[in-house]
Every structure is written in C-alpha cells, then in structure tokens.
Amino acid sequence: MVRKTKTNTEDTGAPPKSDADAKQDKWQKAYDKQQADIDAKLKAVRDALAAEQAVNNQRFNQVNQRQTSFQEASREAAAQATRAAAAATAAAAANQQANESFQTELRNAKANVLQENKALLIIVVVILVILGATATYFTVIRPLQKTYLQRTESFEEPMETIRPNSLNNSSPNDSPEVKSPDNTPSPDNNPNQPIQDTAKPIQNPYSPPPIQNKDTAQAKPAPVSPNAKKASYSWKYNGQTETVKLSFDPALKTAYAQRAPDYKGNKDSYYEKFLNKLPGDQAVDDLVGQLKAIASRRKLSDDQTAELAIKFVQNALSYDHNRAANLNAPGSKINHPFETLERGQGVCSDKALLLVDVLRKLGYGAAFIDLPNANHAAVGLAVAPGSDVYNSGYCFVETTNDFAVGEVPSSLNGGQAQTASLTNSRINAQSIGPATIILKRSGKTYTHLNLPAQMARH
C-alpha cells in the first residue's frame, strides 16, 4: 500500500486541496489507522495461536512420551507376568513332585510303623500271656495245690484210724475173742479169717462233679413268689389234649414292662435283646421242662417234641387282635417271651420270639423270619437243603394260626395268617413276599417235613 504523506503546497507549489480531498485524506488516515489496528490484532492472534500451538505441541509430545512409557511398562509387566507364570508352573510342578514324594515316604513310614507295631503288639501279647499265666499260677493254681495237699494230708490220718485201736499194730492171734450169745466164736473174730477193712473211702472235695447230659438234666425249679400269678394252658397234639401250668412273678412282669430295647440299625442285636432274660425268669425253662416230660410220657421223637411246642405256641396262646390294631400307638412294644406267656396271647413277633427261644432250648436250629412287605413275622426251623424257603436252610413255621410245619400262608387278616390251601407250596414263600432271616442259630434239623410229591418236585 502506498501511503500518502502530508505535503506542503507551498514547497511543491501545488494548488491547495479541496474539501473533498481533505475528507478523503481524513478517511484515508482513519482507514490506515484502522488497518494498522487490525494488523496488530491479527499479529497478536497469530502470536497467540503460535504460542498455543507450541503449548499443544509440548502437551502432545508429553502425551506421546507418557504413552510410550506406558507401553514400555505394559510390555515389561507382560514379560514379568509371563516369567511369573512360568515360575508358578515350575513351582507347582516342583510342589506336586515334592507332595508325591512326601506321600510315598509317608506310606512307607506308615507301613514300617505298622510292621513295628505288629511286632511290638505280638511281643506285648506274648508278655501279657506269660504274665497272665504266671499270675494265674501263683494266685490260683498254686494256692489250690497247697490247699489240696493240705486237705489230702489231713484226710490220710482218719483213713488210718477208722478201724478200732485194738486192731491196730496187733496180730490176729492177739485179738480178743468175741463170743456170740451162745458162747460160740463170732465169725467176724475168727483168728483164721482175714480182717475185713470197713473204712469208707473219703471223696476228694476237689474232684469235679459228675457230668450230666444237658438234655436230660432237670433244671432246678425257681422259688415261687407267694404273690405269683398261676396260669394253665391247654392245647391238642395229634388228637390228645395236653396241659402245662406256669407261675409268673409280678415283680418280673413290672420289670419287663419297663424294658424296651432301643433299635440302633441292627435287627439281629435288637431282637436278641428280647431273648435276654432277667434274673429269676425261668418261665420258658419251666415250659420246656414240661414239654419234655409230656414227650417222655408219650414217647415222642425229637421232631414230634418240636411239633408239640409249635402247636402250643399256635393254639394255647391266642392271637392278640387288639394289640395288632394298635401296634403304632405310643408305648407299644414287642413283648418278651415271659410277657407273652404271662398274657397268654401275642402278635406275630411276640409268638415268633417265644417259639425261637423254645426251639433253641430243644436243641433245634431256629431263626426269626422278618417279612417287612407283609408287616409279619414267623419262625425258621432248620431243615435239609431243598425243603427250605429263601434258600436259607430253614423251613417256614407260622405261629399265629394252626399251620403244619413248612406251610406258608396265602394271606393275612389283621396280621393273623389265614389257612393255606393245599396247592400252596410249603417251600415257596413268594406269596407272602421277601424276607430277612435273623437270629440264626445252628442245631438239630427237622426231618419230619412231609411234602406232597408235587411240592417235592418244585
């Protein structure tokens, strides 16, 4: 832009300017001034933008530097993580190997300790046996030997002096002559006749008592309480009526009523507790003794004696329908054989437990048959293979109704077995459901089981 400068007309000799030129000069000056202000402002703006750009560049550079540092730190952290993972894997493998080695050493140590303990236990047992035998010898056997010798020595002198003193240390010729009332010499004092030793042998008090057969030995009757309840039972066997009489102590009745074993998951131990008797209870023993007496009188075989006992439980003791209907009532429990006999009635489990006890005392193998699906119980009587139920070695014996040995009921009514039909197999008990055989006891086998031909073929 060409700026116009003020000139002096007098110097140039130019004519004086007009008003229009003066105005134009004035405007030109104002424009130039305004343009200078704009340029100054533009320069200030450019400077500010340049400064801002420099600041932004500086900030950008700082961000780039931070990003670069962060990336480097991330890469370093990743490398460290990789190294740490590798180290952890190596440590885990080493730990697993050390653990396996420790477990192997521990098993070996346990085996060694077990062997040492077994050897030590054997040594301890041998020492205890030796000590027990030694203690038994010095505390029991030796004192008995001394006492026996003392008793033997004390017995020898009376045996020497049983005869009269006049006969000791004298010859037959020196003995005085004893005459009979008719002045004839007594034959017992005949000098020519040897003297008879009248000393009676003395029994050694330490000699064992004579052995009695447990089947023929009579049990000593228990003392009868003055308040004892007396009961009589009658039933028929082979068309002939038999009767037994028993007595029951009220104190035992009260004690059994308060005795209710707890079921702890084992049926054998649970039911066996009902066969454990209280001191003084000889009801079943008395019953078995009278059954044996009847069998002896009627000359019954062993199997017939077992049938006699079975018919007693089936027919002499009635079925307790009232208790069968309230088995789940509070306070209801299985009765002991004493209680079943004292009440004269019982449900299936009561009568089955009583018959198992009686058959055992008669020497037979017997068991308790639990039928959970039928909520029923019966007795197993040992028989030969092929005649048993459930491949158990026992035939089925019903106690709640009049059944032959081996007959299985076809149905139940209120817990009581109903009479089996002739077509019902005596060795097939599937009609009454699966069973659990408990309280197994070996003994004599029942050989009088008469199965029809078709049952035998089955």
Give the E-state strand segments of 135-239 in sequence order: 229-237
How buried is 130 (Cβ within 10 angstroms: 0-12 exposed, 13-18 middle, 19+ buried)? exposed
Q: What is the DSSP code (8-state) at residue 164? A: -
CA distances (Å), origin 123, targets 115, 118, 119, 134 = 12, 8, 6, 16
Class of CATH domain 229-457: alpha beta
Chain centroid, CA 437 distance in Å: 17
Across the strands, what pairs with 242? 235
Query: How high is the pLDDT of residue 179?
Result: 40
pTM over 0.75, yes/no = no
Average pLDDT over residues 234-247: 95
Backbone φ, ψ for residue 347 (5° rounding): -90, -175
294, HSE (Cβ side, Cα atoms, 13 Å) = 24
3-state SS, residue 228: coil
> Looking at the predicted structure, is the pLDDT value of residue 188 above 70?
no
pLDDT in tens, 345-372: 999 999 999 999 999 999 999 999 998 8
Delimit the domains of the chain by residue range: 29-150, 229-457
Query: How high is the pLDDT of residue 382?
Result: 94
Chain centroid, CA 278 distance in Å: 24
Query: How high is the pLDDT of residue 149?
Result: 60
Query: How high is the pLDDT of residue 183?
Result: 43
Question: Residue 259: which region, alpha, beta or left (left: phi > 0; alpha: psi -120 to 50)?
Answer: beta
> Which strand (E) or helix (H) includes residue 197?
none
The residue among 77 and 421 whose pLDDT is bigger is 77
Does the CA dihedral 364-370-374-377 come out positive or negative?
positive
Residue 28 makes CB contacts below 8 A (sequence gap 6+) with 4
pLDDT in tens, 110-140: 888 888 888 888 998 999 889 888 888 777 7
How buried is 36 (Cβ within 10 angstroms: 0-12 exposed, 13-18 middle, 19+ buried)? exposed
Q: How far is Cα 227 from Cα 249, in angstroms, rounded to an integer? A: 7
- Token output for 232: 């009589």
Mean pLDDT, the chain, as a whole number? 78
> Which strand (E) or helix (H) includes residue 286?
helix 283-298
Identify the band that residue 288 occupies on the pLDDT scale cut at 50, 70 and 90: very high
- Token output for 93: 């493998």
Report yes or no: 378 and 369 within 8 Å, Cβ to Cβ: yes
- Token output for 261: 């074993």
